[in-house]
Amino acid sequence: MTEAADVMQPAGGFDAPFVKELVRIWRAEDMSGAWAGKSDLDLLEPYILDKEKRRALPVIGDPDPDTVWRLELFFNAVAVSIEKATDVMIQPMLKMHHEGFGRLVLIGGRLIAVNKQLRDVHRFGFDNLAKLASEGNKYIRDGIKMIRKFPDVANY
């Protein structure tokens, strides 16, 4: 497990508010206590796909349910973070073809705050924890910016 911990330790990644929110979302999903003994890094490890792991995955493939679930939890953490910053309830919607392409939107009121085209979902992951935090923060910033630009639509 030290290899995963080494990959996941870039500066500031684990302390990022988005990463902490993602861990909270994971912990909230654990109704049976199966992950109570796991560290936060263990929970986040499936999001880390370094070059070797990514190369081992086929270029074309169907995403397994665990990967789709991790994608949903990632964007749920984005949605909750946007809600906390704007006081606008955000609802995620995912429409995906079984081959791993589709669209995810985060909706506030009648506003699409975040719109993400999905491709190659079976390869969803990040090089390291800092990149995970950076991508999550990018979606949060974009969502907040959109809500602040169109507050009447978001609060409709």
The least confident of 64-68, 73-77, 140-144 is 64-68
| Per-residue model confidence as pLDDT tens digits over 90-143 | 999 999 888 778 999 999 999 999 999 998 888 888 999 999 999 999 999 999
The domain segmentation of the chain, as residue ranges, is 17-29+37-155
The topology under which CATH files domain 17-29+37-155 is: Putative cytoplasmic protein (1.10.3100)
Secondary structure, 3-state, the chain: CHHHHHHCCCCCCCCCHHHHHHHHHHHHHCCCCCCCCCCHHHHHHHHECCHHHHHHCCCCCCCCHHHHHHHHHHHHHHHHHHHHHHCCCEEEEEEECCCCCEEEEEEECCEEEEEEEECCHHHCCECCHHHHHHHHHHHHHHHHHHHHHCHHHHCC
Name the band, by pLDDT with cuts 50, 70 and 90, for residue 152.
very high
